[in-house]
Structure 1
Amino acid sequence: MPSFHNGAVEIAYLDEGEGDPVLLVHGFASSKNVNWVYPTWVSELKKNGYRVIALDNRGHGDSAKLYDSEQYHIGTMAGDVTALMDHLNIERADIMGYSLGGRMTAWLAHREPQRLRSAIFGGIAMGLIEGGGPGENVAKALEADSLEDVTDPVGRTFRAFADQTRSDRRALAACLRGSRRLMTREEAADITVPVLIAVGTADEIAGSATALGKIIPGSKVLDIPNRDHMRAVGDKVYKTGVLEFLSQRK
């Protein structure tokens, strides 16, 4: 698997297919494989004529593991995305992020809109502004000696997922504590790139997609029926909606 360095931090990535570039940014405690390869996003996008790039966020997958929360500010993590684009000589791309990856994508849509043809926020909506989702309870669950020691239900869910994906739990705890910047309503309202907000109707983490859609000018909302935060990722409705949205950007 190829990798590059953004400063001293090694970032693993994949780069497959030909056509307009679509860059995929995975969620917290996940990886490019778990979020995008296994649920067939990469193959589906390639089949539809796109060049697909996906990175392992710092602290995740095959990328460098860092244990200082200061190295996980949301802007720093988003900077790995644009550094990868620079490394591959890609000026602009459609960028889709899921959950934490959606927060990173939103940061780029607001701060560096010239790098995005469009932005897709998967598994994140009003949570961008209002918060919610994994917090200190999850960080402590990740640092616990074993899953049996975790009583908090949300903490147990993320700890079990981290164990399942054989993640570096100490790096994830640092990432969680460092990446907690929320976006203001004013910042969201300033986003000018085309935006699709795709959230499962049973997602209790993302927040309201409709409410965020009213804040971001011209954005579109895609409801993923009967899917929670974890199960929306590979849903057919999600894929079909994204492909339709991307086709309108050409």
Structure 2
Amino acid sequence: MDFTTSDGLSVSYDDIAPEGYERAILLVHGFASNRNEGWKRTGWYAALERRRFRVIALDQRGHGQSAKPHEPEAYRRGNLARDVVELIDHLGINRVDLFGYSMGARVASAAALAAPDRFSNLILGGVGDKMLTERPSARGDVMAQAMLTDDPESITEPFLRSFRQFADEQGEDRQALAAFTNAENPPLDTDGFATLPMQVLVVAGQRESNGDPEVLAKAFAHGHGVIVPGCDHFSAIPHALTKAAVFDFIDGVLDDPWAR
């Protein structure tokens, strides 16, 4: 399915509503991924459906089956966060749980800051306390170069090479991904994290390159941090212990007024 954003782009999404579902969750994938690779193949669709969730997952602009403009300004974080809110508006839903992974966690955070009344609970995966000190850097330039080079073997940094390989495996538009990384974004309003009214889970692997999830969780008024033993950034998302942490978190906040 598709909907058109307020700035005229087509965004693709899945909306799977089991009969008699009890709550809805919106999933926001990471960079160079898509809804199928980030959430369906890793077992999240099936696990959430078994828990009687209505599962909504979008391909972020520049990814999957969504529109792929080649202009960096299309990928400003405010646009990405607005896509999330406009999707639940399009579906006529008042409030959902929101789960973002990696880059998707940053988008989910921005959406929660922009429209806190629309999200019952916030789940951030694949991030840690480095998110509190992130500033614009040359990372976007080198990631763009990694996406655009004709010779992937020339990429010497493992982090960059892994994302280029991932993008190639998914058949993503590397020019769009390069534009995505070159978008000019101010730092997240991390001071605003403490004002968010919903319960927040931050979950990441023990070998997560983005820092400590337990430290990041302390920046939120109602934050909970979980470290998944033995996992890195990529292996944590499909792991059964990550799913267990998410479901334990949700089960623990069912009686919270923001979860209704």
**Which residue among 162, 169, 183 is the counterpart of 1:157?**
162
What is aligned with 2:258? none
Q: Give yes or no for contact 1:129–1:185 (8 Å, CA) kept in 2.
A: yes
Residue correspondences, number: 248
Q: Measure the CA separation in 2 of the matches of 1:15 and 1:232.
A: 24
1:40 is matched with which residue? 43
Letter in 1 for 2:244: T
Contact 2:127 2:208 in 1 (8 A): no
Identity %: 34
Find the aligned partners of 2:86 and 2:41 in 1 and give their Cα distance: 25
CA distance in 2: counterparts of 1:211 and 1:22, whole angstroms = 25
Question: Of residues 195, 201, 212 in structure 2, which corresponds to 1:196?
Answer: 201
Equivalent pair of 1:128/1:182 in contact (CA under 8 Å):
no
Paired residue for 1:103? 106
Q: Measure how far apart 1:180 and its partner are.
A: 4.3
CA distance, structure 1, for counterparts of residue 212 and residue 133 of structure 2: 10
2:76 is matched with 73
Q: How far apart, CA to CA, are the structure 2 residues paired with 1:194 and 1:185?
A: 16
Preserved contact between residue 197 and residue 220 of structure 1 (Cα < 8 Å): yes
Q: Does the CA-based 8 Å contact 1:138-1:154 persist in structure 2?
A: no
Deviations along 1:32-55, one digit per CA (max 9) or x if unpaired, are 011100011011101111100000
Partners of 1:22 and 1:95 within 8 A in 2: yes
The one-letter amino acid of 2:167's match is: A
1:131 paired to 2:134: yes
1:202-249 per-residue CA deviation (whole Å, 9 max, x = no partner) reads 111x22212212221221011111111111110111101111211233
Counterpart residue type for residue 226 of structure 1: G
Q: Deviations for 1:178-200, whole angstroms, at most 9, x for unmatched residues?
A: 16442244122222211000011
Moved more, 208-217 or 66-75: 208-217
Residue of structure 1 equivalent to 2:146: 141
* RMSD (Å) for aligned C-alpha atoms: 1.6
Please point out which of 167, 173, 179 is paired with 1:168.
173
Q: 64, 67, 82: which one pairs with 2:67?
A: 64
> 1:16 maps to which residue?
16
Alpha-carbon deviations, 1:113-140, whole Å to 9, x = none?
0000010000012232223895322111
Q: Is the 8 A contact 1:119 1:195 kept in 2?
A: yes
Q: 1:233 aligns with which of 229, 234, 237?
A: 237
Query: Secondary structure of the residue that 1:51 maps to in structure 2?
Result: strand
Q: State the distance in 1 between where 2:196 and 2:182 align.
A: 26
Q: Is the 8 A contact 1:28 1:99 kept in 2?
A: yes
2:214 touches 2:227 (CA, 8 Å); kept in 1? no
Deviations 1:17-46 (A, max 9, x none): 333110000001000011100011011101
* Matching residue of 2:3: 4
**Contact 1:109/1:193 (CA < 8 Å) preserved in 2?**
no
Q: Which runs of 5+ in 2 are unaligned?
A: 255-260
Rounded to whole Å, the distance in 1 between the matches of 2:91 and 2:112 is 20
What displacement does 1:171 show? Answer: 0.5
TM-score by length of 2: 0.91
Question: Displaced runs of 4+ in structure 1, greater than 6 A?
Answer: none
SS at structure 1 position matched to 2:216: helix
Where 1:66 maps in the other structure, the secondary structure is coil
